[in-house]
Every structure is written in C-alpha cells, then in structure tokens.
C-alpha cells in the first residue's frame, strides 16, 4: 500500500491511539443518534424520556399506567427499527469495503454480485405464488434470502473457470445474473393477479425498515456482527488483493482462495440484510470512499471506522425517511441516492484522491 501522509487528519488517525479515539467518538455519536432517532416521529419524545423508557425495558423497571402507550411506541415499534437501521448501515459499509478490494473495482458495491436482484426476485415470487406460507409473516423475508443465495450460487458457478475466480469475471457475471433475475421479476409481475407484487418490487428495490420487529433482530445481529469480525481479520488479505493477483501470489496470499471465501461471506451477510430491509443503494458504494479519505487506504483501519460511519448515516437516513413526509414514508433508496450521487461526484472531482488510494 502507498505510505500514509505524515500530517493532517489522516496522519493523526494512522496511529492506533488516534484510530481508537476516532472509533470511540463515532460510537458515542452512534448511541446519541439512536436515542434521538427513537424519540423522534409522529409522537415526539424527549431524549431524556426516551432513555428512561429504554432503561425500564432493559432493566425490567416499571412504567406508569399513563406512559404505557408511549413506552410501547418506543420499545415495540421504534427501537427495533432504529437498531436494524444501524446494523444494516454498518453491514453495507463493511461489505462495500470488502467487495471493492475483492474485485479491484472502485464502482463495486454490495449488490454488484446480483444478490440484490436475487433477493428481490425471491420476495416477489413468494408474494405472487403464496409460497413458504407456513412461515407466516417471515415468508417474504425467507423468500428474499433464498433468492439471494441462489443468485450467489449462480454467480459463483458461472464465474469460476479452471479453479480461478478473476475479479473481472465476477463483476461481469454478477451484472449478467442481476439483469436476468430482473427479467424474471418482471415476468412474475406481469402475470401477477393483482398489484401487490408491484408494491413489493418497490419495497425490495428501494429499501425500507417498516417491517422491522424484535423477531428479526437476533439473526441479523448475529450474522452482521460475525461478518464484521471476520472481515476485519481479512484486513491484510484485502490490502494485498487490492494490489493485484500477481502481487498477492508473490506475497504468499492465495487470491482465488481468499476471493472464494470472501464471496461466500459477503453473499451471506448481504442476503440476510436485504431479506429484512430490501436493497438500499449507494451506502456500500460511497461510505468506503468517504472513510478512506479520512483514515487512509489500509483496510484494517477502514473496516474499523466504516461500520460505525455507515450505522450513523443509516440511522439518520431512516429518520428522514419516516418523518419528512409523515405519515407517508419515503423509500430509503431515494434518500441515499440524493445524498450519495453528489458526494460521489465530489469525490471524483477531488484533486489528489484516487478511488482505493490516492
């Protein structure tokens, strides 16, 4: 990797102490953002009261009879939604970092491998056919997850050639599979008996946390947090993969072996996230670049900061989504695109910055 500059913000964060302080600061900002976001909505609740209700829920404390309705709004509706937003934001940002290094493409994001289209097609298929009805309210999410896994298997099978898994083949195969699955989804909508499938497509292609509940959080939390820990351990391998396969091989890092393991990991984590939130664009594309501008291109540092930055960003995006035009709710993808596009353009025009480095 190129040497980090000695001065400026990036230079200060190059040390372990500076990085630890930055992560601690972002964690505090995340906690404050979560409390504020839980309290805001159609019924505005002060941060102090919000913290009191949350503490009562966690510690098993009592709530006055007059406050039961407000408590239920806080704990049963808003808290799982805000926590899910934080988890998905963290996961998308970290997965974006890994995929951009894995395929050596600065324009790659968590959905370049066709996982998003697979999840959308699976969700629409369940809606149209009534499949997986035994799972009840979780049927659509299960269908989305299965669709994401099918897309990942198709990409892996089609892009593997003579035991190798080249970055270019991965990207091209992912785009082709994505387009094919979008065609399948269009056919399902065309033959759908009602307009419910069309609404489902909008949900899965633009994203929403409206269906968040406590039942989905344990699985999502376990998968995302485990995925973040494993990706952090791949930090050095990602540094080497970003330099090219020949350089990686000369340094003793098997590019194909690591790329296959990373493909399985990012597909699993992305599939779980898309199954509960739909496809949310630009987070996994833009956040890694923004973080690199601050902490440098070393993946251990980027993977320490990007999840926290992504979580904060997604908490506020979700808050804007549900409050800006209340009682209606804006699709998350609309807001992330409105923020992501100008940020991306500014990044491209920034002198001295090259995607993935300088």
Quote the CA–CA distance of 195 and 201 in Å, as a whole number: 10
Environment class of 23 (CB within 10 Å of its CB; exposed 0-12, middle 13-18, buried 19+): middle
In a domain, 324, yes or no: yes
Q: Residue with structure tokens 């992912």?
A: 174
In a domain, 77, yes or no: no
In a domain, 35, yes or no: no
Which residues form the domain of 248? 86-349
Compute the C-alpha angle 105/309/263, nearest 5°.
40
Cβ–Cβ under 8 Å, residues 173 and 166: no
CATH no. for residue 113? 1.10.3470.10
In a domain, 297, yes or no: yes
In a domain, 187, yes or no: yes
| Spatial CA neighbour of 263 closest among 145, 144, 101 | 101
**Residue 95 zone, left/alpha/beta (φ > 0; ψ -120 to 50; rest):** alpha
Quote the CA–CA distance of 310 and 33 in Å, as a whole number: 12
Helix (H, G, I), strand (E, B) or coil at 214: coil
In a domain, 95, yes or no: yes
Quote the CA–CA distance of 228 and 64 in Å, as a whole number: 40
In a domain, 145, yes or no: yes
Cβ–Cβ under 8 Å, residues 318 and 332: yes
Cα distances (angstroms) measured from residue 316 to each of 38, 73, 90, 180, 305: 11, 18, 13, 34, 17
pLDDT in tens, the chain (358 residues): 444 444 555 554 557 788 889 999 999 999 999 999 999 988 889 999 999 999 999 888 888 888 888 999 999 999 999 999 999 999 999 999 999 888 888 888 877 888 888 888 888 888 788 777 778 767 878 888 888 888 888 888 888 766 667 788 888 888 899 899 888 888 887 777 666 666 766 776 788 898 888 988 998 999 999 999 999 999 888 888 888 777 777 777 778 888 888 888 988 898 889 888 888 988 998 999 999 888 888 899 999 999 999 999 999 999 999 998 878 888 898 899 898 888 878 877 765 555 544 4
**Distance from CA of residue 259 to its chain's centroid?**
19
Q: 161 forms bridges with which residues in the sheet?
A: 164
| Spatial CA neighbour of 84 closest among 206, 219, 256, 242 | 219
What's this model's pTM, rounded to 2 decimal places? 0.88
- Residue 164 carries which DSSP code? B
- Domain tally, the chain: 1
In a domain, 15, yes or no: no
């Amino acid at each position: 990797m190129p040497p980090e500059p000695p001065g400026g913000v990036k230079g200060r964060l190059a040390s372990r102490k500076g990085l630890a302080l930055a992560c601690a600061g972002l964690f505090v900002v995340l906690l404050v953002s979560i409390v504020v976001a839980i309290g805001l909505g159609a019924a505005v609740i002060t941060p102090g009261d919000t913290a009191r209700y949350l503490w009562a829920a966690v510690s098993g404390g009592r709530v006055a009879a007059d406050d039961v309705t407000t408590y239920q709004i806080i704990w049963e509706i808003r808290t799982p939604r805000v926590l899910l937003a934080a988890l998905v934001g963290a996961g998308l940002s970290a997965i974006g970092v890994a995929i951009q290094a894995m395929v050596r493409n600065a324009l790659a994001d968590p959905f370049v491998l066709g996982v998003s289209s697979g999840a959308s097609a699976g969700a629409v298929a369940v809606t149209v056919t009534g499949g997986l009805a035994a799972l009840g309210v979780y049927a659509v999410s299960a269908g989305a997850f299965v669709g994401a896994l099918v897309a990942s298997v198709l990409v892996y099978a089609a892009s593997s050639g003579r035991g190798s898994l080249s970055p270019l083949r991965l990207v091209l195969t992912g785009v082709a599979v994505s387009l094919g699955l979008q065609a399948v989804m269009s056919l399902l909508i065309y033959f759908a008996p009602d307009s419910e499938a069309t609404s489902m497509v909008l949900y899965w292609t633009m994203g929403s946390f409206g269906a968040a509940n406590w039942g989905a959080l344990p699985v999502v939390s376990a998968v995302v947090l485990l995925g973040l820990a494993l990706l952090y351990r791949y930090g050095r391998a990602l540094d080497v993969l970003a330099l090219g396969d020949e350089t990686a091989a000369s340094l003793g890092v098997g590019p194909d072996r690591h790329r296959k393991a990373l493909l399985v990991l990012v597909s699993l984590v992305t599939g779980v996230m898309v199954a509960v939130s739909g496809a949310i664009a630009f987070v996994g594309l833009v956040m890694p670049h923004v973080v690199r501008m601050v902490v440098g291109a070393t993946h251990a540092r980027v993977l320490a900061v990007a999840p926290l930055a992504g979580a904060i960003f997604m908490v506020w995006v979700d808050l804007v989504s549900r409050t800006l035009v209340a009682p209606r709710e804006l699709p998350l993808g609309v807001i992330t695109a409105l923020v992501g596009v100008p940020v991306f353009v500014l990044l491209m025009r920034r002198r001295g910055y090259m995607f993935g480095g300088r």
